[in-house]
Copies of this chain bind each other. A is one copy, B any other.
């Protein structure tokens, strides 16, 4: 999971579990697709399949929002779209700033999926004087000197960090000091923030490493299965060479 929130102690938000909140956008996307096809109602079973989750889980998730279904029929699509949107706070517009307009920042700025759900790119900010004034995705890049002013004037509370990792923490600090209370961080850095500020991270490298782990495991199992079938007699030795600490490391501990 490319995610990681920072600190949310006893105060679980009005009883809606975090795991449920994380799935609401998934339901919303599936419901929006149904809505566009003018489907009036949908059962938990159908919607769960579309969202790729268990139907019991979906029903329990919805039960935290209230009793919005009709037994024997299902859920009213339009009504649910509205309820979930409201719950997620998407009935209002959220101005967002992107800091660090390089490869990734520019790609994000060009991404149409932002605006479609109540998020509006209020400003693009970069420290490079060469970038200032340039148009990216139809928006003029502004120099980071004016960061505080930009945040303040646009009432921005959500910031996206796509700077190099080395400066991510200081950019984060400035954003927080300027009033930003939610940060989406693409830099491979552990950000520390004061209480009350949410940080989520998207880390490509971590995702790939997790995939590699499972990939290796699959390859290993395959090899084991083959070896096991071919030469059962050597099993003891094989196992010894493959155990948790069987390999001789390149570097030994002191």
Contact = CB atoms under 8 A, between A and B. Distances in A.
Contact of A213 (B24, B209, B249): B24
A225 interface: no
Interface stretch (A85-93, A126-134, A139-147, A230-238): A85-93
A182 B205 contact: no
Copies in the complex: 2
A53 to B, nearest CB: 9
A206 B25 contact: yes
25 contacts: A1-B1, A1-B4, A1-B22, A1-B200, A2-B202, A3-B210, A6-B52, A13-B214, A22-B206, A24-B213, A25-B203, A68-B253, A82-B251, A83-B249, A86-B247, A89-B213, A103-B111, A114-B205, A114-B208, A158-B211, A184-B204, A184-B207, A196-B218, A198-B214, A202-B202
Interface of A: 1-4, 6, 13-14, 21-22, 24-26, 28-30, 40-41, 50-52, 65-66, 68, 70, 73, 76, 78-79, 82-83, 86-90, 92, 94, 96, 103-104, 106-108, 110-111, 113-114, 116-119, 157-158, 181-184, 188, 190, 192, 196, 198, 200, 202-218, 244-245, 247, 249-254
